[in-house]
Structure 1
Amino acid sequence: MFTPKQLARFSDLDTLLYHYILAHGEKVAYMRIRELAEVTHVSPTTILRFCKKLDCDGFSEFKTKLKLYLEKAETKWLNHSYESMNEFLERTLKSDYQAQLSAIADEIVSSSQVVFIGSGSSGILAEYGARYFSSLNTFSSAISDPFYPINGKQIRHSLAIILSVSGETQHIVSKLHRFREEGATIVSITNTKSNTVAQLADYPLAYYINTEFNDISNVTTQLPVLYLIETLGKIVFEKL
């Protein structure tokens, strides 16, 4: 409702109104213009000018937009992580994950280096994965910077583990392609196998969890990714 461009046009009185509305939005949505003017100590004309800066024709339209804004901002219910994890583990027991992980572990043992790649929350997990593998006698590195340069013949015999919920993040796909150009082996851990990253990988692992978003972020649980990283790391350790 309040865009950066609109906020930049606010006067001191507009800012006063803005703070009051954020603090008392539920009340303001049902106030008359004179009631708001009285509690904020500004004139009705000032309020109308404020509404114009928010691209509203008048106070009534502003209140309508405010009600919609408040409804959208209400807390949304999210799935409990343990429910999602239980579903994942049930599918794991019925699938061929262990055979896939064993094959990937063989590739890791014969690779010159292991590189975890991700961004955002997946970037944090990439760093964790590199540290976890290194703790289990497989020295690994992580790339979580979208602008990190990838060049050199050293990656030709490497194995890249790509972490991405959607598998469609442009700079992640670009990095995968760069490793692919050098002949590296690609392992993907994504939410499905129908995305770009999984389709380009030699070994696509998918965990099939319901994706969840709030207004600004993807908040899909990452517990299955941790499970796959740690399980794979231990299998590699046993093979070594």
Structure 2
Amino acid sequence: MRLQEKISIHFTELTKTDRKITGQLIEKPEILIQHSVQEAANLLEVSPAAIMRVAKKLKYRGLAEFKQSLEIYQSEMQNKEEKSETHNFSKSVISGFKSQLDAIEKSVSEKDLEKIVDLVKKAKVTRALGIGSSGLSAEQFVYSLLYQDHYMEAVTSRTKIFYLSRILTADDVLIIFSVSGNSEAYSEIIERSQKTGAKLVFITMNHDKKLKEAAEVVVVLPSNITDFSVSHHLQQLDNRFAFYIFSSMLAAYIDNGELD
């Protein structure tokens, strides 16, 4: 996975210091490519441990893999046409969302949408789940359904999700929103669903083999990758945009399915 995608997917997990490190490395990747971690830390005015923490949060196996990813990123940026220092910032943001719309259209399968609707139609209870910012997407999905006169509960608390895992039955369907696709966050849910036959649907932006094994449907949406060549600081367009678009599409499909 490219560096930009990793930053986009794990952006909400980065602290202010993490973003400072990542932003400076995006602007000058040679700081870490050409120096030891101690030397890079001195140049960035942080500790070596802080750099290693960023690498870990971006799911790199170690410093060497992080450096390799920076080298690939640097090469990609060097091959890009030089852009003007003056640009219309609002247009660049709109252009980013337009690009993501095109990417969403290519990644969403009609077959997956129909399969999810079929699962919901057959379920006795369907819930939308999400933790953190992904929880807001679960709530947005529920809100979209209310416009269609369909009610669905949103479960966005870790505690409630844990207790929900203890009462799942074969008649339940859970639609889970997770940018990172971290299966560990839903380990109890996955384990219980495998025992009871409850159906899981994951809407994510990251491939995870465990999700594919556990879920009836896994929809992998594109993360909103910022064009880092436009600006000299780390900036992230909201990944929930893709969830919002997909939620609207799925809500329309559910309404078209004429659920009771």
Same fold (TM over 0.5): yes
| Contact 1:193/1:199, CA 8 A, preserved across alignment | no
| 2:198 aligned residue (184, 206, 221) | 184
Greater relative CO, 1 or 2 (CA 8 Å, sep 6+): 2
Deviations 1:205-224 (A, max 9, x none): 01122568xxxxx9752111
RMSD: 3.4
Shift, 1:155, TM fit: 3.6
- The 2-side partners of 1:136 and 1:184 are apart by 25
**Unaligned stretches of 5+ in structure 1?**
1-63, 73-79, 213-217
Question: What TM-score, normalized to structure 2?
Answer: 0.54
- The 2-side partners of 1:219 and 1:96 are apart by 20
Shift, 1:230, TM fit: 1.1
| 2:102 aligned residue (79, 90, 103) | 90
- Aligned residue number for residue 114 of structure 1: 126
| Contact 1:188/1:203, CA 8 A, preserved across alignment | yes
- The 1-side partners of 2:111 and 2:44 are apart by 54
- Aligned residue number for residue 39 of structure 1: none
Shift, 1:135, TM fit: 3.6
Q: Which structure 2 residues correspond to residues 51-90 of structure 1 after superposition, within 5 A? A: 68-69=45-46, 82-90=94-102
Q: Is 2:247 the partner of 1:233?
A: no
**Unaligned stretches of 5+ in structure 2?**
1-40, 51-91, 227-235
| 2:116 aligned residue (99, 104, 111) | 104
| Structure with bigger gyration radius | 1
- Aligned residue number for residue 172 of structure 1: 186
- The 2-side partners of 1:132 and 1:117 are apart by 15
Deviations 1:111-139 (A, max 9, x none): 11211111000012112222322442332
- The 2-side partners of 1:237 and 1:153 are apart by 28
| 2:208 aligned residue (194, 198, 221) | 194
| Contact 2:173/2:199, CA 8 A, preserved across alignment | yes
- Aligned residue number for residue 148 of structure 2: 136
- Aligned residue number for residue 137 of structure 2: 125
Q: 1:199 to 1:192 in 2, by over 3 A?
A: farther
Q: 1:230 to 1:176 in 2, by over 3 A?
A: farther
Q: 1:229 to 1:176 in 2, by over 3 A?
A: farther
Q: 1:156 to 1:120 in 2, by over 3 A?
A: same
Identity %: 18
| Contact 1:198/1:205, CA 8 A, preserved across alignment | no
Question: What TM-score, normalized to structure 1?
Answer: 0.58
- The 1-side partners of 2:184 and 2:102 are apart by 32
Q: Number of aligned pairs? A: 167
